[in-house]
Amino acid sequence: MDGTRIVILVADDEELVRDMILVMMRKDGYQVLIASDGAEALDLSRRYNGHINLLISDIQMPRMTGIELADVLIKERPTMKVLLISGSTDLTIPRIFPFLRKPFTPGALRDAIVRLLPSSLAASDAEG
């Protein structure tokens, strides 16, 4: 694919959630990097030499929370967008990060991604 391919880093300790996002995002034409927790996602990001457009991260994970991960990654990759996800109802989510409550539908996730990414990139990938 051309150089405008969107790369999404997904960090979630729930395998079912990771698999659902992976299948859906690949079907929509995105390149997906998968990690089972925040520390693994941080390591994966540091080893990945290309541009990462979006981090989708669960908030509550072992070793490193999604908020901690997002804080570090936006310092290392300032153009990367962040979408936090969680099924917990008792969390305080920092307002600087967009949030999507689990369980979410594929359509709700697509809508959140389209809102976060440059419209020309998201639209060209979503059409394919």
Question: What is the residue-wise DSSP string for 36-48?
Answer: SSHHHHHHHHHH-
pLDDT tens track for 42-65: 999 999 999 999 999 999 999 999
Give the per-residue pLDDT at 100: 93
121 pLDDT higher than 70? no
pLDDT digits (tens, 9 = 90+) for 63-104: 999 999 999 999 999 999 999 999 887 777 778 889 999 999
Mean pLDDT of the chain: 87
Write down the pLDDT at residue 4: 65
Phi-psi region of 5 (alpha: psi -120 to 50; beta: other; left: phi over 0): beta
Tell which CATH architecture fits domain 7-116. 3-Layer(aba) Sandwich (3.40)
Predicted local confidence at residue 89, as pLDDT: 77
